[in-house]
Amino acid sequence: MLDELLTRPQFSIPQEEKEALLLPRLGELVEHHRDACAGYRRILDALPDGPGRGLSDLPYLPVSMFKSHLLQSIPDDEVFKVMTSSGTTGQAVSRVVLDRTTADLQARALAAVMTTVLGPRRLPMLIVDTPNVVRDRRTFSARGAGVLGMLSFGRHHTYVLDDDMAIDVGALERFAERFSGQPVLVFGFTFMVWKYFHQQIQRRGLDVDLSGAVLIHSGGWKKLQDEAVGNAEFRAGLERSTGLRRIHNFYGMVEQVGGVFLEGPDGYLHPPNFSDVIIRDPVTWAEAPDGQVGVIEVLSTLPRSYPGHVLLTEDLGVVHGAGSPVTGWAGKKLEVIGRIPRAELRGCSDTHAYASAS
């Protein structure tokens, strides 16, 4: 039986009601993981007892825990797969242990989120990437995994870039001709959509009409910061070059697959019914008031096979209040600022300098 948080339309539950629904479920997950995961139990045993009244009182794990420790809440013979995060060579990667139940739940959850903007049917899909991003398993990357994860929401998968990141004009034209006037899905990583799609269309003066399309993009703004491109410029630019208006950024991580936050028409990222977000002040670790920048904590009722239900990320963000169910976009309004800037620490050991250089 599926939880009502999954069956009710996503982004439809008023924040107060949502918190009331999440609290007992997440509280139960805390107890479940305390019983089932020795490492998690040791952490909880060491921490002082909190007041335990609201979502912000639930114990949270720093995501980096999944880089250093394999934390699982299932016996070994129930492990269905171990997902790993991206990471450049030499860097530690996160390892997230899934059983069938959690993997199924994640897939259903992701579908529930995506269908709110895509509709129930699979749409013809344009992928702003090269076909080799999913073909070559040896160089399989986070980008490849991201594309692969989205493929199930589309049909007639058409890759629009070649290996030199040049637009394959022929493929684009054939796609446009065939699905002209129909809703289509465009997917790509934020910086690739901007740099290799939008900018190239403008530079080459290509005539591209995607006014009936939905663009889903993800990956963060870091690479676009140098060009001073934020969400507003991104949206305006794409509308100019392609006519795209229905644009949804999403925010998610391998440690909480399925619980993706989706951008609403207000430009903010909204957690789905079964997820929530809390901003913490890194000086006190207390919940920061709306409007204040802090470290993003994400909560999700999905993770049963590993203790990833309440995670402190390494991203900075701001919550700008909650959306209204009337608009179809209830839930908190999150703005992701980006990764926490690296610390400039002193000390005697240069390990990192050489590790990153070699």
Partner 1 sequence: MTATPIEVGTAARVEVVLPEPANRELTPLLAEFATAPTSRPFSPEALDFCADLARTLARRARHLPEVQALAFWMRRAEVTRLAEAFAAREDDATLLVPQGTVFHVPPSNVDTLFVYSWLLAVLTGNRTVVRLSRRSSEASELLLDVLRDRLGEHPRVRDSTLMLSYGHEQSITDALSAACDLRVIWGGDGTVDAIRRSPLPPHATDVTFADRSSLAVIKAGAYAALTEEARDRLVVDFFNDAYWFDQLGCSSPRAVVWVGDEVQCAAAGADFFPRLQAQAVRKGYAVDAASAVAKLGFGYRAAVDQQITGYEFHGSALTVLSVAQFPAIGGEFCGAGTFFQYRTAELLDVVAGIGRRDQTLTHHGFDRAELRELAVALNGRGIDRMVPFGQALSFSHLWDGRDLLQTFTRRVTIGAAR
Which of 13, 21, 26, 65 is in the footprint of partner 1 by CB under 8 A?
65
Q: Does 88 bind partner 1 (CB under 8 A)?
A: no
* Beta pairing, strands 294-300 & 310-323: antiparallel
Nearer of residues 59 and 328 to partner 1, judged by Cβ: 59
State the Cα–Cα distance between residues 66 and 278, nearest whole angstrom: 20
* Token couple for 314: 């390494």
In the complex, least distance from residue 39 CB atom to partner 1, rounded to whole angstroms: 4
Minimal CA–CA distance to 193: which of 144, 160, 152, 227? 160
- Scanning the structure block, which residue is given the tokens 């800037």? 341
Complex with partner 1: residue 207 or 354, whichever CB lies closer: 354
Which range of residues in 2-10, 38-46, 196-204, 229-237 is near partner 1 by CB under 8 A? 38-46
Binding region for partner 1 (CB under 8 A) out of 1-9, 44-52, 154-162, 169-177: 44-52
The alpha helices in the chain, defined as continuous H runs, are 4-7, 15-36, 38-46, 65-68, 100-118, 132-135, 142-151, 169-178, 190-192, 199-204, 222-225, 231-242, 351-357
Site string for partner 1, 248-287 (x = CB under 8 A): ----------------------------------xxxx--
Cβ 351 to partner 1 shortest distance, Å:
3
Q: Which of 316, 318, 322, 330 binds partner 1 (CB under 8 A)?
A: 316
* Cα 324 off chain centre by: 22
Determine if 64 is a binding residue for partner 1 (CB under 8 A): yes
Helices (H) and strands (E) in the chain, counts: 13, 14
Residue type, 198: H
39 forms part of the interface with partner 1 (CB under 8 A): yes
Q: Which of 6, 105, 11 is nearest to 334 (CA)?
A: 11
* 62 in contact with partner 1 (CB under 8 A): yes
Structure tokens at 228: 């001073």
Nearer to partner 1, 118 or 295 (CB): 295
Per CB under 8 A, the list member of 113, 145, 295, 298 interacting with partner 1 is 295
343 binds partner 1 (CB under 8 A): yes
Residue 85 or 106 having the CB closest to partner 1: 85
- Comparing CB distances to partner 1, the nearer of 74 and 110 is 74
Please, which residue, 232 or 348, has the CB nearer to partner 1?
A: 348
Closest distance between partner 1 and the C-beta of residue 45, in Å? 8
Say whether residue 47 binds partner 1 (CB under 8 A): yes
Nearest in space to 277 (alpha carbons), one of 334, 324, 315: 334
Looking up tokens 């990141």 gives: 165
**DSSP helix/strand/coil, 114:** helix
CA distance 180 to 168: 18
Query: Interface residues with partner 1 (CB under 8 A)?
Result: 39, 42-43, 45-48, 61-62, 64-65, 68-69, 282-285, 295, 312, 314, 316, 340-355, 357-358
